[in-house]
């Protein structure tokens, strides 16, 4: 998912972390076509994590405007995901698992 990742319904966090680190190895110009439109919800979560930086703030504004207009936010680009997706930026599997649990509990 753009700015996010799927829930862990089965399997261990380490398995999802391994998959994400493999995806992060793709070239920055790789288009990412996710199957669900969760980008706005993922942007709200990413913004809630602290100092988002100007690139995330600008991208979130664009995402919210697109969704308000009934338009899709996908595809995204792997380079953007590498820079802005908090799950791809978790330093290890334990941090990823904590972040995923926080997203599961997030009501923003």
Q: Where are the domains of the chain?
A: 13-105
In tens, the pLDDT along 40-95 reads: 999 999 999 998 899 999 999 999 999 999 999 999 999 999 999 999 999 999 99
Token look-up 């790789």 returns 30
pLDDT for the residue 101: 96
Is the whole-model pTM more than 0.85? yes
Q: What confidence tier does 11 reach under pLDDT thresholds 50, 70, 90? A: confident
Domain 13-105: top CATH class:
alpha beta
CA atoms of 56 and 91, how far apart (whole Å)? 19
pLDDT of 35 > 90? The answer is no
Name the residue with higher pLDDT: 97 or 51.
Answer: 97
Q: What percent of the chain has pLDDT over 70?
A: 100
pLDDT for the residue 41: 97
Q: What confidence tier does 108 reach under pLDDT thresholds 50, 70, 90? A: confident
Residues 6+ apart with CB under 8 A from 43: 3, 56, 59, 60, 63, 64
Helices first, then strands: H and E counts in the chain: 5, 2
Q: Across residues 90-103, what is the average pLDDT? A: 96
pLDDT of 30 > 90? The answer is yes
């Amino acid at each position: 998912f753009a700015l996010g990742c799927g829930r862990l319904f089965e399997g261990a966090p380490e398995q999802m972390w391994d998959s994400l680190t493999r995806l992060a190895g793709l070239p920055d110009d790789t288009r990412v076509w996710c199957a669900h439109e969760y980008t706005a919800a993922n942007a709200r979560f990413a913004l809630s994590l602290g100092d988002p930086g100007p690139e995330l703030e600008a991208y979130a504004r664009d995402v919210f405007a697109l969704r308000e207009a009934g338009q899709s936010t996908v595809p995204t680009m792997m380079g953007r995901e590498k820079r802005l997706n908090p799950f791809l930026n978790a330093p290890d599997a334990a941090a990823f698992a904590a972040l995923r649990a926080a997203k599961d509990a997030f009501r923003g």
